[in-house]
């Protein structure tokens, strides 16, 4: 068995020779070879061109030696065919914002292979090009995070339009969440069927809610999504940023792995989640702006906090920052491998 | 004894007739009477004019019936005399940013009554005008949050300049933090000596760090600050936003009350903090954009989570939003008083 499949084994809490590691946004702007490709195309063109998406997906595998590839794409890609125009300026903008019952009614559920064939083409291409070197992760946004973007029409500091809808018009909110969940299910199923060997659900904004609101307004949809993906036989990673205070709720949605941001101690998270749930994380991405002494210290701390428990995938607690020197990212991967061996 | 001093009693975990409540940023833009005053003066002029600062401080006491007044001011007010120029455009800008050892060396520790006499004049004026109706809270920024602004020169999403300094030049970081802590001590002591009956330390950005980094880079300074204020005999409230995963560390800094944001369940927080530490919080500010049904439901949930334990001050989990209808804020205060009575 390829030693790189340590990633898959760790997802199922099986023992591994050394801790597998990959980095969220590992195909991205901190890499000069990525910036070179981006000189010629827009972000969305890159997402929609399988050969280029595959090329940037592979860049960090060679440059860093990470244990998994993650498809280069964006969580908003499946939203465009639902009926909102998508632009990047450079932050994403969705027009028109979804605010009313008729706005929701006008949205249609994604037909994956017809609407976004380039995603699955990139996955098929990558599986051929990877040739078993490392497994390929597919991904999508959690329904709540997609709803945040769709209702606000953009990123936001407080997501007040979304919260107004949620608190003032819970029925319209529920209709929207149902439609997004339906889309997410077929979209992620199609990724696995095209060859994705694991799936990560990104709930970037789930942590803006109180645990009570998360339980009421988010969890039912995330649980429906994860349940509908169970029979695919690929590990499911559920990352809710800012959810350290409600990890037991996050875990109750299903899946094999809970993603952790850096705002909680890994040992505490593992104590809460128990032996059967794997964890992924949780280095503060800004540590990679420091020097090698600081990076090694922090990697050692996290590995020590895990205390040899099976089921740990090392990662950042959020996406890698564009300002990170690539050699620091490579040093991090090396540290994880070196320090996690017995 | 004035029933409004329930606020002070709750700070010391003493029983009260009904749960006291105030709202962070209760003197602010959501109130038309505040906006009227602001038509004639800039934000900084308002901070520096005792009569006007006192007037807006009093507005929510009348309009909402809250159980405490909090001085209208800004956490950056004591930074200007340390040697950085302060502007609001409208977000705060501090120039030049502090980045080097010589930048830190050029800063001087505040001389409170000489440098910012208007703060203490406003406090003395307010004590006269309040005439015992409700207690007056003074406040300051925690050293780390002030350092964030001083190093970045402004607010920031990731505070990369601050983190670079912290990770790459820990000695310079420590010198800066020491100087800010010295300033915060004399500034907050002077507020209490002028008449502030409680002091709140705002650590708006402490939660951007991992618990390990919080313990290394923040806690020693916050602890020194809180320890130096202990003999004043006024309750100390320590609010670290985003710190739900490390409340035991926050509590170990000292003080009588831990402020909570809305991202953790109040009952869980109280279980962690124990019987001797009071808590303040923790309604999601955006709930006030909803209707009365939602507001009452959420107030009831939080009061139920507290389960009658002494030592709860009701508050929002962050500042009130400018978009909130004032009648919703008044309804909230009424709900807290009504639902917390036996």
User: Nearest CB to A168: which of B158, B167, B290?
Assistant: B290
Active site residue B38: yes
For residues B283 and B316, give the distance between their C-alpha atoms in angstroms, rounded to a whole number. 4
For residues A221 and A243, give the distance between their C-alpha atoms in angstroms, rounded to a whole number. 16
Report the pLDDT value the prediction gives residue A39, as an integer from 0 to 100. 96
Average pLDDT over residues B26-34: 97
- The pLDDT-based confidence of B342 (bands split at 50, 70, 90) is confident
pLDDT per position as a tens digit, A42-93? 999 999 999 999 999 999 999 999 999 999 999 999 999 999 999 999 899 9
* Cβ separation A210–B263 shorter than 8 A: yes
Chain B residue numbers with beta carbons less than 8 Å from the beta carbon of A247 are none
Inter-residue contact A310 to A269 (CB < 8 Å): no
Torsion sign over Cα B243, B247, B250, B254? positive
Q: Which of A29, A167, A244 to mutate to test the interface with B (most CBs of B within 10 A)?
A: A167
Average pLDDT over residues A185-189: 98
- The pLDDT-based confidence of B3 (bands split at 50, 70, 90) is very low
Six token digits for residue A242? 């800012």
- What percent of chain B has pLDDT above 70? 99
Q: Check CB contact of B203 with chain A, cutoff 8 Å.
A: no
Inter-residue contact A78 to A72 (CB < 8 Å): no
Average pLDDT over residues B281-308: 97
Inter-residue contact A336 to A299 (CB < 8 Å): yes
Q: Check CB contact of B17 with chain A, cutoff 8 Å.
A: no
Average pLDDT over residues A182-194: 98
Given a cut of 50, is residue B1 above it in pLDDT?
no
For residues B137 and B7, give the distance between their C-alpha atoms in angstroms, rounded to a whole number. 10
Q: Which domains does chain A have, with CATH numbers?
A: 3-339 (3.20.20.210)
Chain A residue numbers with beta carbons less than 8 Å from the beta carbon of B167 are 286-287, 289-291, 294
In degrees to the nearest 10, what's the CA dihedral of A111, A113, A119, A120? 140
Region for A265 from its dihedrals, namely left if φ exceeds 0, alpha if ψ lies in -120 to 50, beta otherwise = beta
- Find residue A278's DSSP bridge partners: A257
Active site residues of A: 25, 29, 38, 74, 149
Given a cut of 70, is residue B270 above it in pLDDT?
yes
* Cβ separation A289–B164 shorter than 8 A: yes
pLDDT per position as a tens digit, B190-205? 999 999 999 999 999 9
User: Within A134-260, where are the H helices?
Assistant: 143-152, 160-168, 170-194, 211-217, 219-229, 247-252
Report the pLDDT value the prediction gives residue A153, as an integer from 0 to 100. 96
Using DSSP, state whether B312 is helix, strand or coil. strand
Report the pLDDT value the prediction gives residue A144, as an integer from 0 to 100. 98
Report the pLDDT value the prediction gives residue B240, as an integer from 0 to 100. 98
pLDDT per position as a tens digit, A255-294? 999 999 999 999 999 999 999 999 999 999 999 999 999 9
Report the pLDDT value the prediction gives residue B2, as an integer from 0 to 100. 42
Given a cut of 60, is residue A1 above it in pLDDT?
no
B43 φ, ψ to 5°?
Answer: -60, -45
pLDDT per position as a tens digit, B205-261? 999 999 999 999 999 999 999 999 999 999 999 999 999 999 999 999 999 999 999
Given a cut of 90, is residue A160 above it in pLDDT?
yes
- Find residue A238's DSSP bridge partners: A201, A258
Inter-residue contact A214 to A145 (CB < 8 Å): no
How many residue pairs bridge chain A and chain B with CB atoms within 8 Å of each other?
105
Quote the mean pLDDT of chain B: 97
Closest by CA to A142, choosing from A55, A266, A67, A249, is A249
Q: Is A87 buried (19+), middle (13-18) or exposed (0-12) by CB count in 10 A? A: middle
Q: Check CB contact of A291 with chain B, cutoff 8 Å.
A: yes
- The pLDDT-based confidence of B4 (bands split at 50, 70, 90) is low
Angle of CA points B78, A157, A200, to nearest 5°: 130
Inter-residue contact B340 to B18 (CB < 8 Å): yes
Report the pLDDT value the prediction gives residue A330, as an integer from 0 to 100. 98
- The pLDDT-based confidence of A143 (bands split at 50, 70, 90) is very high
Q: Cβ–Cβ contacts within 10 Å for residue A29, how many?
A: 14
Using DSSP, state whether B263 is helix, strand or coil. coil
Report the pLDDT value the prediction gives residue B6, as an integer from 0 to 100. 96
Which chain A residue's Cα is nearest to B263? A210
Contacts of B156 (CB under 8 A, 6+ apart): B148, B162
């Amino acid at each position: 068995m390829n030693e790189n499949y340590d990633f898959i084994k760790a997802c199922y809490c099986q023992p591994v020779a050394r801790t597998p590691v990959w980095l969220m946004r590992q195909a991205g702007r901190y890499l000069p070879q990525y910036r070179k490709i981006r000189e010629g195309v827009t972000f969305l063109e890159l997402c929609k061109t399988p050969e280029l998406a595959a090329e940037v997906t592979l860049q960090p595998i060679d440059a860093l030696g990470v244990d998994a590839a993650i498809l280069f794409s964006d969580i908003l890609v499946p939203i465009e065919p639902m009926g909102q125009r998508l632009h990047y300026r450079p932050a994403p903008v969705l027009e028109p914002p979804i605010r009313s019952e008729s706005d929701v009614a006008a949205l249609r559920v994604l037909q994956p292979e017809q609407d976004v064939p380039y995603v699955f083409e990139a996955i098929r291409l990558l599986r051929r090009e990877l040739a078993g070197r490392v497994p390929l992760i597919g991904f999508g946004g959690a329904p709540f995070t997609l709803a945040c973007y769709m209702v606000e029409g953009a990123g936001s500091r407080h997501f007040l339009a979304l919260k107004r809808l949620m608190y003032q018009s819970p029925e319209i909110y529920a209709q929207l969440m149902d439609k997004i969940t339906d889309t997410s299910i077929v979209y992620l199923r199609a990724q696995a069927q095209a060859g994705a060997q694991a799936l990560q659900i990104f709930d970037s904004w789930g942590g803006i809610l109180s645990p009570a609101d998360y339980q009421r307004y988010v969890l039912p949809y995330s649980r429906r999504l994860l349940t509908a993906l169970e029979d695919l036989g690929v590990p499911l990673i559920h990352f809710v940023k800012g959810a350290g205070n409600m990890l037991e709720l996050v875990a109750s949605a299903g899946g094999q792995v809970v993603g952790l941001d850096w705002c909680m101690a890994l040992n505490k998270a593992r104590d809460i989640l128990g032996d059967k749930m794997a964890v992924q994380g949780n280095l503060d991405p800004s540590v990679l702006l420091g020097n090698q002494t600081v990076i090694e210290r922090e990697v050692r701390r996290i590995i020590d906090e895990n205390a040899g428990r099976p089921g740990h995938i090392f990662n950042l607690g959020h996406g890698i920052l564009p300002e990170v020197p690539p050699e620091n990212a490579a040093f991090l991967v090396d540290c994880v491998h070196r320090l996690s061996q017995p």
